Every structure is written in C-alpha cells, then in structure tokens.
Amino acid sequence: MYAVISLTRVVSNWNFGPYFPDIYRYQVTMEREIYSCCDPSSPSPIWTGQSTGTVINIGDIETYIAQPQQLSTTNLNSEQDVLPANTNKCKRVILHLTEGHSIYFLNAQLLADSFSSHLNCPVIMPDLFAGKERVPKNQTPHFPPGKQSTPPGPHAEEAPPPPPYFLKESSEAEFEAWKASVEPGVTDPIIGRVVRWIRETYGAGVGIAGVGYCFGGRYVVRLMGADVIDVGVVNHPSFFTMEEVSKLGEGKRLAVFAAERDEILPKEKRRRMEDLLEERGATWVSTVFGGTEHGFAVRGDLEVKEVRMAKESAFMGAVKWFREWL
C-alpha cells in the first residue's frame, strides 16, 4: 500500500545565493541511538552492478563523479586543473550527499551513475566524512548464509557477485565518537568547498540541485535554507531540525521520500515538516511507501517486491522532480 501526501505551489523565480550565510547557527546534537543507516553491524544488501564513475580529489576531499557519456572523467583532475573541454556545456549538476556509508558504498555509486544517465548531467558525490565513513572503503563484504552463490551463464566468473551484506561490530561509544566528528561545523565547510569547485568547474551559472539519503538529506535541507540551492530531494532524511525546515519558503522546491517505519523520521516529525513546508510557501511533495523501513532507497533488499518498487519509485520520482524544476 502506498500513501501519498502532496501540495504544490507554483513559483517563478529562483537564484543561487551565497555559499553558507550564518550556516553555523543551525547546530544540533543527533539522537544517541545507533541507527541502522549509521551502524555497520546492520545488514546492508549490496545491489549487483558495476559502477562507472571516477574518484578524484577536490582539495583533500575524495569525491565520486559520475558523468554522462559525452563527458569523460579520464582527464578530470582538480588538483591539476585539467578538465574536459566541454564541461561548460553542462546546464545542471546534481550534488549527491550520501548516508553514513559514504562514497565507496557500491549502492551509492550505482545511484549516482543512474542519476547521471537519466538526467544527462554530472553527479558529484563527495565524501562528507573525511574518510570516517561507517563502512571503511577497504572492508570486505560478508556473505550471510544463502546469499553466496555462483552467477549463472558462460561468463559467470566475470559477473558481479550476488548481494552481500556488510557486517561489523560497533559499540555505542564508537558511534558517539564518529557522530561528534561529522556535526555541521565539520560537514558544512566540506560541502561548501565542493559547491565552489562545481561552479568553478562547470560555470557560475550552472544549475545545482541536491539529492540526499539519510545523513545527507539533512544537508540538502541546509543547503536550500542557506540559499545555496533551490531544488532538492531527500530520502528518509535524518537529524534535521524544524528550524532548518522553516528556512524553506517560496522558491524552494523539495521532494521527500519516506519510509512507513522509520525511528529517525517518525510520522509525527514528518508531518510537522510537511506543515512547515506548507506554512512557508515552499513547493513540495511528500511520499510515504508502505512496507518499507528507514534506508530503503539506498540499502533496501531488492529481492523484496515492496522494497524494490519503493526504491525504484523514489529514484524515478527524483529524476522527474529534477527534470521539472532544475
């Protein structure tokens, strides 16, 4: 069953403002629980597929870049300022802000590649955690019983493995230490530097929109509230405050894709978010998918039909949102 709640207002003007005005006013402490999106001991189905993007350094920020076919990332090296000759032809760029498993999580890379392909534009996915992501990039996936099988066909040895799961012990103390290292005072400047690089690389007039998952969803809201971007999509967003949501007024366009069962975004908080978006005059849509839990859009088990349909619907909903408004 799907429940859809939506309200849309048409607005005509939008512009890109300063990078992060008064951004540090929005400090907040996250909840204490170790939530599944941030806990490596929580099973994470890894989707099958081969990512096609490139990881470069924007200063010291490792960043995954997915590009449409006509833009090669072969020579994209920010430290040497060597860029493809036709980057100035890009009219829009998607800033992809991840959940706690960061840019080396295959699912996130596959999503970035898919956004790039469907929207025919670059997708920039920075490491928001300065190498402190919850699943280290060199960690070997663990296969639970029944998930490790040989793919069929004559080229089975070349095919990707079936969906594994990441498993890792994590104490509350370890989580608290990690959480303290990625609060807005640390994360906002990272995003600000990446936004500046996007404009220097693709042109000051390029349209930038944000898509965020869990942890990254909050920062899409913050970017919109700070007038850095005007168009955003958030999937089961985490840890945002109502003060941050209240910054989204006329000219801001936000799509929310939420899970039916979500301890971080319970229905009471989601409905308050929707009320504020309505009160402030933003253009918005909120969609809740029955039969889903927090994390479905990036960590869902695609063998479960309800989860697969929700994940695909959220993705295509984001694509349509960006096509209409960016």
Residue 32: CB atoms within 10 Å: 9
214 part of the active site? yes
Side chain identity at 316, as an amino acid letter?
M
Instruction: Report helix, strand or coil for 291.
Output: strand
Instruction: Report helix, strand or coil for 326.
Output: coil
Torsion over CA of 197, 203, 207 and 210, rounded to 10 degrees? -10
Q: 64 with 111: CB under 8 angstroms?
A: no
Distance (Å, rounded) from C-alpha 288 to C-alpha 43? Answer: 23
Side chain identity at 239, as an amino acid letter?
F
Q: 257 with 297: CB under 8 angstroms?
A: yes
Instruction: Check 37, 214, 227, 230 and give the catalytic one.
Output: 214
Least Cα distance to 117 among 174, 71, 154, 163 occurs for: 71
Give alpha helix (H) positions in 203-304: 215-225, 242-245, 267-280, 296-299
What tokens were used for 87? 């980057």
Checking 71-76 for CB contacts under 8 A at 24+ apart, the result is 71/122
294 part of the active site? yes
Instruction: Check 96, 101, 236, 294 and give the catalytic one.
Output: 294
Instruction: Report helix, strand or coil for 231.
Output: strand
Instruction: Check 127, 227, 230, 262 and give the catalytic one.
Output: 262
**Which residues are known catalytic residues?**
214, 262, 294
